[in-house]
Amino acid sequence: MNMESRPRGADVVPGVAVAGEAVGAVTAVGPSDPSTSVVAVAGGTGFVGGAIARALVARGYHVIVLTHRPVPAGSPDGGAPSRVALADASSPRVPVMPDAPEPGASADRVEFRAADIARPETLARSLVGVDILVVSLAFRNSPIEAPRRGQTFEQVDALGTERLVAAAKAAGVGRLVYMSGAGAAVDAPKHWFRAKWRAEQAVRDSGISYTIFRPSWIYGAGDKSLNRFIGFSRWLPFIPQIGNGKQRMAPILVDDMGELVADALDSHATHNVTIDVGGPDTVSMDDVIRMALHVMRRRRPILHAPIFMMKIATAPLTLLPTPPMTPAAIDFVVQSAPVDTTELSRLLPRRLRTVAEGLATYMGPGR
């Protein structure tokens, strides 16, 4: 367990230029040793963070799940670790934990600590003894923002990450992994991409060795995007779709995303890099829905609703404290998310599941 500001054997390397932005000197470290490394996952009770936590536990890491929710009884901030789902509680089909190599082994490697990005004073204490911090933040009902509740990209993705990075520096964390998004840029036309860029810059400027992932589109059991639309097939004779359904993306199964993060911690080559992430298929949203219906052995037409009509219909909902949909969220869901996975294949070679294979893991008959 690392308690120093710089891991043993680490070297300071010159700043790295990313997308034309110069960054400061960073600390380079070798591959992590799961038997001695402690990894904290901010967002570890969420959809993507939960998959990352499960993959790390399966590799033998001691994982600390940072959560603003009530800490399980017995954890350090409330008791002994327990086999609590490392995923959203509303997603019962997400596996709780990987099978343990021996009785109790997985549970013994999971710890829950209270940490709230809205209360910065809780963060440094939650990172005591942590070697690696994985940041996978998302606000409730993302991408539907609720400004009056502080659930926005600026408040959570940008400011939340900045606060976690500051706490990581104070706690002597030796490595950062940040889950960003395809399209993040300082001059991006959409504010969610600018918020992701701001978070990335906090990571790059930290002086801590980092890996930044920019996934295209992540799906899987517990996903509240695709699964919400497919769920309509249970009681509607059609699948509603906003827009023309032609937006392009390279979907990656959430479990594969978790494995890639674990791979990165095992690699010499993934320090101080930003990596676009996508699965082997580049498809449209309509393609994904059709594949999902095929896996589920259902036949439903896709009914497209014009974007401008949906924006008009949802505009009044922005007056609610927690809107069910907003015009900005519609822009988010209909955008394309192209990625170039050349660097991913070079740095982290791994066979990723096709969309059909991924969907079959949780939508197939009997599942």
pLDDT in tens, 108-140: 789 999 999 999 999 999 999 999 999 999 999
- Total number of domains in the chain: 1
Nearest residue to 42 via CA among 65, 70, 75, 68: 65
Q: pLDDT at position 364, please?
A: 77
CATH of the domain at 138: 3.40.50.720
> Regarding beta strands 21-22 and 17-18, do their DSSP bridges make them parallel or antiparallel, or are they unpaired?
antiparallel
pLDDT category at 266 given cuts 50, 70, 90 is very high
As a whole number of Å, the end-to-end CA separation of the chain is: 40
pLDDT above 80 (res 299)? yes
Determine, yes or no, domain membership for 317: no
Q: pLDDT at position 72, please?
A: 57
Q: pLDDT at position 28, please?
A: 55
Determine, yes or no, domain membership for 330: no
Q: pLDDT at position 106, please?
A: 54
Is residue 305 a contact partner of residue 282, using CB atoms and an 8 Å limit? no
Determine, yes or no, domain membership for 126: yes
Measure the CA–CA gap between 343 and 347, rounded to whole angstroms: 6
3-state class (DSSP) for residue 303: strand
CB atoms within 10 A of CB 83: 13
Determine, yes or no, domain membership for 18: yes
CB atoms within 10 A of CB 240: 12
Structural domain of 122: 11-218+252-278+337-352
Determine, yes or no, domain membership for 319: no
pLDDT above 70 (res 90)? no
The HSE-up count of residue 82 (CA atoms within 13 Å, CB side) is: 11
Specify the pTM.
0.84
Take residue 69 and report the two structure tokens written for it.
């929710």
Measure the CA–CA gap between 263 and 323, rounded to whole angstroms: 38
Determine, yes or no, domain membership for 262: yes
* SS percent in the chain: helix, strand, coil, step 5: 35, 20, 45
Determine, yes or no, domain membership for 347: yes
Q: pLDDT at position 109, please?
A: 84
Measure the CA–CA gap between 135 and 157, rounded to whole angstroms: 9
Is residue 118 a contact partner of residue 137, using CB atoms and an 8 Å limit? no
Instruction: Give how far Cα 303 sits from Cα of 241, 244, 297, Å.
Output: 6, 9, 19
Determine, yes or no, domain membership for 230: no
Take residue 337 and report the two structure tokens written for it.
């998310």
